[in-house]
A and B are shown apart, each in its own frame.
Chain A
Amino acid sequence: MNLSARSWFGFLLLAIGLISTSLSASAQTIKVGIVGPFSGPFAHYGTLFKNGVEAYVASQGGKLAGKDIEFIYRDTGGPNPGLTKTLVQELIVKDKVDYLGGFVFTPNAFAVAPLIQQSQTPTVIFNAATSAITDKSEFFIRTSYTLWQVTVPLAQWAAKQNLKKVVTTVTDYGPGIDAETAFKSEFSKQGGTVVESIRMPIATTDFAPFVQRIKASGAQAVYTFLPGGPPNLGFVKAYNENGLAKAGIQFLGTAETDEFDLQKFGDAAIGLTTAFHYSAAHDSPANKKFIEALKKRDPNAVANYASVGAWDGMYVIHKMIEATGGQRDGLKALVSARSLQWESPRGPVRIDAKTRHIVQNVYLRKVEKLGGLLVNKEVQSFGPQIDYGLDK
């Protein structure tokens, strides 16, 4: 896009913005665009988002701040920045959405930053977890987590447990490298040694060789990061079957014991240690209300980090609608969002005024069996954590 085309586009957006401002002054429906994968191998994220946002609106009696809410869902498939940019442009220009939410993949979120910056559309990230996203536009607010946020307290805890030698094994792609760097830098700051850093190819199905390398490294614990779904299962199986658990090599993870697949692990998962911001087993009235609202919408709905990200994302949008009285005013909405503080299903949280990332408690959890079901039992709270990846 050359310069004149760019400025024309900006003018167009501005004009549309002005027209729709005058329109939405009379209309009482707030439009929220939800962008995520609704088909293909990641479609379950779309379902989790949909359940989360719709359960939230239902729990508020179907209206937010007295306004009707219309959700417009757009399907990105997998990581696809080009398509996402087109879809979001359509949402802004044609559908004239007031707010945007969703985003599972980091590249998709990066792609829309210039669009939301120009149109001043407040955009809430429900999932994508790379620290730098909120730097790309001041209209990004994030209600998920970052790998730095959950990994740093885990590394500190590991050092306090007198673990001296740890091996890191991460899947070889963006978030995996993030996780490795976060653990290494914090753990060595605390006086520990990372004896080996193994990066596993993303298409790995047989984890036995890596598990043997972990065993051979002489480490007391393994810090690991894997993308959700089948690789998680494969790694945990290999960890158990090759006798790592028996050899006393402790498992340190983050999202690996996610509720979505947890029951499929079977008893092999019992005792796995993770540090994370949300457990469906979190004991609080807010979490009970969240799970009830989800089950009311769909008895099979899963309460996990993605659905809680969507639920809290809707809370933020709700408060922005309140603050602007339903008017389209991205800047005013953003000012109100920057000082939000509330009781989320995951515990007390707030939006950091500077980074627009959620500050939340991170918990140490162990997988336990409760009434025949596996749960992530929170055994210790590390207290409120910021995103250490942004605040360096």
Chain B
Amino acid sequence: MQTLLNISIDGVAYGMVLFIIAVGMSVTLGLMRFVNLSHGAFAMIGGYCAALLTREAQWSFWLALPVALLVTAAFAVLLESSVLRHLYKRSELEQVLFTIGLAFFLIATTNALAGPQVQLILLPPLLAGSVDLGFRTLPAQRLFVIGAGLIVAALATWTVAQTRFGIWLRAAVDNADTASTLGIPIRTVQCASFAAGAALAALGGVLGAELMPLEPYYALKYLVLVLVVVAVGGMGSILGSLVAALALGTVETASKYLASEWGNLFFFVAMALLLAWRPQGLLKR
């Protein structure tokens, strides 16, 4: 019973971290149909910003977090409007090749600028401690991630489904030419969506850093996890990504409690089964 409770608590906490680092990818790959394998690099830029601001400049975490997101979004706007926009109409293979190259470039730059060591984000006192749940303790940071994950999921789903911007975005992706003749500013929509995806990646980089510490190879190390979550959740379905992340996180955690000698086997078996059952995504029939 205790073990079951532990599995569900740690599973949800881990699943939320997976969701937070994957949600940005869900926007760019899922909604914009742009295969952005440099997603992890954007997360890394956000994380490094937060780490440098809190550690070197002694900023408060609560101030460093939005600034890190803005810096990453600004960098994404720059990159999107100068280079990446030319890739939207190219084949998927070309997108993959370019963005993986970009990821390597950013890894090398990070290594040269900040060194190969692990970077730590200083947490505010509120998040640094643990919360006593009565029968066990849970890091306060993990509770914050769970809350942030739920808010992001709700906000992103609402934006895409209910707002004018969401309608424009879906129209621009489905048929850019028609959308353009209807007066939708598709360049602005594309650029803003990409920037939003990058900012979400940065959020994942900052909040996920407790489990996935920042170092230059961060950009590629966790890419597989992110791709698995987005693929199982279904392209463009943010709620699907959330459900997939929670399910996979719980499976992984259960295997750590009950059968750790099997390594990551169950995580990938679960992925294969879920994909076989619902190839279009968990919430799509």
The answer to whether A43 and B136 touch across the interface, beta carbons within 8 angstroms, is no
Q: Check if A201 sits within 8 Å of B263, measured CB to CB.
A: yes
Report yes or no: A43 in contact with B116, Cβ–Cβ below 8 A. yes
Interface-lining segment among A65-73, A97-105, A137-145, A210-218? A210-218
Interface residue B34 (Cβ < 8 Å from any Cβ of A) = no
B162 interfacial by beta-carbon distance below 8 Å: no
**Chain B 118-140 interface residues, beta-carbon cutoff 8 Å to A:** 118-120, 122, 130, 136-139
- Does the CB pair B119–A41 fall under 8 Å? no
Q: Is B62 an interface residue (CB 8 A)?
A: no
- Check B264 against A203 for contact (C-beta < 8 Å): yes
Q: Do A243 and B10 form a contact, CB below 8 Å, given A237-B210, A264-B120?
A: no
**How far is A208 from B217 in the complex, measured between Cα atoms in Å?**
23
Q: A260 to B13, Cβ gap below 8 A?
A: no
Q: How far is the CA of A56 from the CA of B116 in the complex (A)?
A: 23
Residue in A41, A212, A213 whose CB lies within 8 Å of B217: A41
Tell me if B10 and A261 are in contact (CB < 8 A).
no
Main secondary structure of the interface of A (DSSP, over half): helix
Answer yes or no: A57 CB below 8 A from chain B CBs. no
* B263: A residues at CB distance < 8 A: 172, 201-203
Q: Collect the chain A residues with CB atoms within 8 Å of residue B222's CB.
A: 205
B280 CB–A CB distance under 8 Å: no
Instruction: Check B211 for interface membership: any CB of A closer than 8 A.
Output: yes
Size range of the interface on B?
Answer: 35 or more
Report B34-67 CB contacts with A as 1/0, cut-off 8 Å. 0000000000000000000000000000000000
Contact across chains for A243 and B130 when beta carbons are under 8 A apart: yes
- Pair A212/B130 contact, Cβ less than 8 Å: no
> In the complex, what distance in Å separates the CA atom of A260 from the CA atom of B117?
8
Cα(A266)–Cα(B215), bound, Å: 16
Q: Which residue of A lies closest to B123 (CB)?
A: A266
Q: A203 CA to B6 CA in the complex, in Å?
A: 21
Q: A210 near B136 (CB under 8 angstroms)?
A: no
For A189-202 the 0/1 string (1 means CB < 8 A from B) is 00000000011111
Q: From A198, which residue of chain B is reached at the shortest CB distance?
A: B260
B260 engages A206 (CB within 8 Å) = no
**Residue of A213, A215, A265 ringed by the most chain B CB atoms within 10 A:** A213
CB-CB contacts of B255-282 with A at 8 A, as 1s and 0s?
A: 0110011011000000000000000000
Given contacts A172-B260, A264-B120, 4 further A-B contacts (CB under 8 A): A203-B264, A208-B13, A212-B257, A243-B137
Closest 4 CB pairs of A and B: A209-B256, A241-B139, A201-B263, A230-B213
For this complex, 30 residue pairs linking A to B, each with C-beta atoms less than 8 Å apart, are A44-B117, A47-B116, A198-B260, A199-B261, A201-B256, A203-B263, A206-B13, A206-B14, A206-B17, A206-B252, A206-B256, A208-B10, A208-B13, A208-B139, A208-B142, A212-B6, A215-B136, A216-B3, A230-B118, A230-B215, A233-B213, A234-B211, A241-B130, A242-B130, A243-B130, A243-B136, A264-B119, A265-B120, A266-B122, A300-B115
Residues of B within 8 A of A (CB): 2-3, 6-7, 10, 13-14, 17, 111, 115-120, 122, 130, 136-139, 141-142, 210-213, 215-217, 222, 252-253, 256-257, 260-261, 263-264
